[in-house]
Amino acid sequence: MPAGRAKPVSIGPRPFPSMSAAERFVSEILNRYKLGEPISGEDEEVVRDLFLMHPEHALKLDGHVISHFEVADQPEQHKTTRSFVVIRADGSRDDFSLQKALGIRK
């Protein structure tokens, strides 16, 4: 592939022309929901597919079944960042990074 050309990427069955296009699409979902609001419909399908792309998704499930996904504030160094949270069927929860799921190194 010539230098400067974006590499296509997919989240589940959804193709995107570039990693940045996929990141923008998922960021829109992240900002569409209120904190603690369950993610629903097609957005939930995208977030589920994204979660399954995360290199540690099996560890994050810890043998539990997924109940749903939400958005939560996560404190980071000197700021608070929104992130996706997987809610397990037992009510426990764990956040996950969309950048890590997409394989973006920051």
For residue 57, is it within any domain? yes
Longest dimension (CA), the chain: 49
> Mean pLDDT of all residues in the chain?
89
Q: What is the CATH number of the domain that holds 66?
A: 3.10.450.40
pLDDT tens string 23-56: 999 999 999 999 999 999 999 999 999 999 999 9
Query: What is the count of structural domains for the chain?
Result: 1
**88 and 65 Cβ atoms separated by less than 8 Å:** yes
The pLDDT of residue 104: 76
The pLDDT of residue 1: 46
Cβ-Cβ contacts under 8 Å for 67 (sequence gap 6 or more)? 87, 88, 89, 91
Q: Which domain holds residue 19?
A: 9-102
For residue 2, is it within any domain? no
